[in-house]
Amino acid sequence: MKSTLPLVALSLILSVSSFAETPVEKKPASSEAKTAGEPKDVTPDEAEKLIKEKKAVVLDIRTPEEFAKGHIEGAINVDFLDDKFSEELAKLDKSTPVIVHCGSGKRSTSSLPQLKEQKFQSIFHLNQGFKAWLDAGKPVKK
């Protein structure tokens, strides 16, 4: 028994040292993992900052009737419920940051796959939509 103990210990040491030399794959930091075109939720304050500093385009996907009752100044209205929604999206500049919103966030969330498919480079989603903008006391154009 005494003669096999050194062999077992040596085997154990060799297997542990070979494991220690195995390279560990580094995972990218979360900011590195984010790719162009991946939507990011933003608050009304963040959206307002993006509009001012990054010259982001506001894409209001509510109906024309909803838009007429009040909207973010400078917003482009493209009705998500219209059959030509994708065609209208195709006309927009894909390289300019876009902030998409609807009334509460449901339609705009549903629109995100189409924005990605059409290769918009910077997509921001106004969390909880125009309602959140109003609740934050942000300016509205009528």
pLDDT above 60: residue 31: no
Q: 76: domain CATH number?
A: 3.40.250.10
* pLDDT band at residue 2 using 50, 70 and 90 as cut-offs: low
Give the range among 8-17, 19-28, 56-65, 85-94 with minimum mean pLDDT: 19-28
Residue 142 lies in a domain: no
Residue 91 lies in a domain: yes
| Phi then psi dihedrals of residue 101, to 5 deg | -155, 160
98-132 burial, b at 16+ Cβ within 10 Å, e below that, comes to bbbbbbebebbbebbebbeeeebebbbbbbbbbeb
Tell me the residue range of the domain where 76 lies: 34-135
pLDDT above 70: residue 132: yes
Mean pLDDT calculated for residue range 109-125: 97
Residue 51 lies in a domain: yes
Q: For the chain, give the mean pLDDT.
A: 83
Residue 102 lies in a domain: yes
Q: Per the structure, how many domains does the chain have?
A: 1
CB-based burial label for 46 (10 Å; 0-12, 13-18, 19+): middle
* pLDDT band at residue 30 using 50, 70 and 90 as cut-offs: very low
Residues known to be catalytic: 102
Residue 120 lies in a domain: yes
Residue 16 lies in a domain: no
Residue 44 lies in a domain: yes
Residue 121 lies in a domain: yes
Q: Are 75 and 59 in contact (CB under 8 A)?
A: yes
pLDDT above 50: residue 127: yes
